[in-house]
Amino acid sequence: DAKTTQPTSMDCAEGRAANLPCNHSTISGNEYVYWYRQIHSQGPQYIIHGLKNNETNEMASLIITEDRKSSTLILPHATLRDTAVYYCIVRVGGSGNTGKLIFGQGTTLQVKP
Amino acid sequence: DTGVSQDPRHKITKRGQNVTFRCDPISEHNRLYWYRQTLGQGPEFLTYFQNEAQLEKSRLLSDRFSAERPKGSFSTLEIQRTEQGDSAMYLCASSQGQKYYEQYFGPGTRLTVT
């Protein structure tokens, strides 16, 4: 499984875009990038995932570089409720997988008024 | 969709006692996962079920831990002879079909062993 590296913490002003980077330089061709977040005292929440194309849903956008060695999660208009720990996780896709998520330390995003 | 529920939300027990936690996954989800999270750390995988079959157990799951999912619906996690090191948040998650990594988590059970 590819190792991921994220900054320990980041700040963002309310209403501005939050750009959370993740480095996964050893990612292999069949590994997907998943993002979760965990708001204080809650269970983790799935946000988005991608393989090589950029993805967007109602929560966020995921930009994956062409060489797939890094990605950025973008929260377009951060609110105070987006304050959380954000985890970038790389896992092999396809059938027969365990679904075991391996969480690192993540990035603590503090959205400030 | 009522989400994943866990019971109890908090449990305080004395060292050496047994405790049991319950998880009710989203009803149509066939996979159920247990994770443990200690303060300041990300969640760590413990075990998972596909329907009623337990398919993988982490080395973190010592012989004092046992998990069941008897009818492929709710699951229980029992810890026997609790130790202070068992103090943690125990998280349950479920997923549907082949969306293995799109997991829906419950609020967790916080265990404190005194």
pLDDT for B78-100, tens place per residue? 999 999 999 999 999 999 988 88
Q: What is the residue-averaged pLDDT of chain B? A: 94
Cis amide linkage into residue B8, ω under 30° from 0: yes
Q: Which chain A residue is nearest to residue B31, measuring alpha carbons?
A: A99
| Interface of chain B toward chain A, CB-CB under 8 angstroms | 4, 31, 33, 35, 41-45, 48, 55-56, 91, 93, 95, 98, 100-108
Please check whether residue B11 is in contact with residue B109, taking contact to mean a CB–CB distance below 8 angstroms.
yes
CA distance A9 to A112: 13
Q: Which residues of chain A have pLDDT under 50?
A: none
Unique residue bearing structure tokens 């377009």: A76
Residues 6+ apart with CB under 8 A from A94: A30
Q: What is the mean pLDDT of the segment spanning B63-77?
A: 94
pLDDT of B97: 84
Res. B2 pLDDT band, cuts 50 70 90: confident
More confident of the two residues B2 and A28: A28
pLDDT of A30: 87
Please check whether residue A102 is in contact with residue A89, taking contact to mean a CB–CB distance below 8 angstroms.
yes
B44 pLDDT above the threshold of 90: yes
Please check whether residue B21 is in contact with residue B76, taking contact to mean a CB–CB distance below 8 angstroms.
yes
B10 pLDDT above the threshold of 60: yes
Q: What is the mean pLDDT of the segment spanning B12-25?
A: 98
Q: How far is A66 from chain B (nearest CA, A)?
A: 23
B72 pLDDT above the threshold of 90: no
Q: How far is A77 from chain B (nearest CA, A)?
A: 24
* Joined tokens for residue B105: 């988590």
Res. B74 pLDDT band, cuts 50 70 90: very high
